[in-house]
């Protein structure tokens, strides 16, 4: 439960670079991909239904659209002119990172303690990767993820210095 809200580390997924045999663990839990649906319900009162059956299954979508708990929506990797990068939403929904898959440099792109509502990423025709994080009904955009990666401090080196 703590991993869902970013309180503790749960590295259930990783990216592996076949070119240099480096493994990059991601703080993304496997739990968020499941969806449960209740059935065989009867109305108990005006506010409560009693259901006798619950079915759980892995789903990319919920009734409201994308199931942002599913890892499919939390990781994207791209081959850019400067080399391969990954964009990941980790620590529950609190952080978005850009990771250089050749060097292992990882930088923070977005952080919000109360969570990021959604993350969209797309590669442009010139190879740039655009990131759009949304929270509080506002878009937060990084036009060039690789440029952002080059300009920021590696979180791994920042943690070692402390």
pTM: 0.80
Q: Is the pLDDT of residue 10 over 80?
A: no
Residue matched to tokens 């991909």? 33
> What are the pLDDT digits (tens) for 97-138?
999 999 999 999 999 999 999 999 999 999 999 999 999 999
- Which tokens hold the place of 39? 């059935």
Given a cut of 80, is residue 158 above it in pLDDT? no
> Tens of pLDDT along 51-102?
999 999 889 888 888 888 888 889 999 999 999 999 999 998 999 999 999 9
How far apart (Å, rounded) are the C-alpha atoms in residues 116 and 142? 15
Distances (CA, A) of 78 to 22, 138, 155: 17, 25, 20
Structural domain spans, the chain: 13-28+74-161, 33-61
Contact 124, 135 (CB under 8 A): no
Tell me the CA distances in angstroms from 4 to 26, 55, 97, 126, one per residue in order: 13, 21, 17, 35
């Amino acid at each position: 439960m703590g991993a869902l809200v970013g309180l503790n580390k749960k590295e259930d997924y990783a990216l592996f670079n076949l070119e240099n045999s480096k493994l990059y663990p991601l703080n993304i839990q496997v739990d968020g991909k499941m969806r449960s649906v209740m059935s065989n319900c009867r109305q108990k009162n005006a506010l409560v239904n009693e259901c006798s059956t619950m079915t759980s299954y892995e789903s990319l979508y919920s009734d409201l659209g994308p199931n942002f708990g599913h890892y499919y929506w939390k990781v994207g990797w791209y081959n850019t002119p400067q080399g391969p990068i990954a964009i990941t939403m980790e620590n529950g929904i609190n952080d978005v990172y850009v990771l250089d898959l050749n060097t292992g440099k990882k930088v923070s792109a977005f952080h919000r303690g109360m969570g990021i509502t959604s993350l969209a990423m797309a590669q442009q025709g010139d190879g740039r990767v655009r990131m759009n994080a949304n929270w509080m009904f506002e878009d937060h955009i990084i036009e060039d993820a690789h440029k952002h990666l080059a300009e920021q401090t590696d979180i791994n080196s920042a943690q070692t210095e402390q």
